[in-house]
Chain A
Amino acid sequence: SQTIHQWPATLVQPVGSPLSLECTVEGTSNPNLYWYRQAAGRGLQLLFYSVGIGQISSEVPQNLSASRPQDRQFILSSKKLLLSDSGFYLCAWNTGSNQPQHFGDGTRLSIL
């Protein structure tokens, strides 16, 4: 069966430090991969999605970037974190853009 792993579960970082959040999917090939930010009372905001290795689409201009170095690996990064980057980040995957997305457990990022 397919599974999705995100880590770390929680992260506390100082302003100006770099960021790397990792997401991996097992049990499927060539998935679509997504990064979201979830804010209380504001639903899920799509940040990036990828339909293949090295293919990244950005939905919202921001201080973050994404990369897909391997078929089932999706990384969310920043060179210098801002206070406004605090939030709950979710990774998701599906087998086609019309299919339901399956979500990881999320990473709670706190910037000090």
Chain B
Amino acid sequence: AQSVSQHNHHVILSEAASLELGCNYSYGGTVNLFWYVQYPGQHLQLLLKYFSEDPLVKGIKGFEAEFIKSKFSFNLRKPSVQWSDTAEYFCAVNAYSGAGSYQLTFGKGTKLSVIP
């Protein structure tokens, strides 16, 4: 079964600092990759997705992620964070499980706190 590791439980940054959140997965087959964000008091929202196209994926609100197949990684980046980026971020891996089905596995999440 696949697993997803998010290395940082809690990241604290000052506004304008650069962000990189790590995500590694263990699965050797076909995968689709997602980053979700959960702002305080809100539901989970899709931030960006990777579907076998350009390994550098652009998402909403200036976020991007790079899929490095050889490293089984899909790290999330933003060059300059804002206070409004304070949220919990979840990496998710959708792995092909056969017969046209995929199984989605989430990482444990990384809380980002941005200090004004």
Chain A residues within 8 Å of B, Cβ to Cβ: 41-44, 46, 90, 92, 97-98, 100-106
Contacts and interface: CB of A to CB of B under 8 A. Distances in A.
Interface residues of B, number: 24
Interface SS of chain B: helix, strand, loop or mixed?
strand
Interface of B: 4, 9, 32, 34, 36, 42-46, 49, 51, 90, 94, 96, 100-104, 106-109
Contacts of B102: 97-98
Contact of B49 (A43, A44, A100, A106): A100
Contacts of A42: 108
Nearest to A40: B109
Contacts of A41: 9, 108-109
A81 to B, nearest CB: 24
A40 B103 CA distance: 22
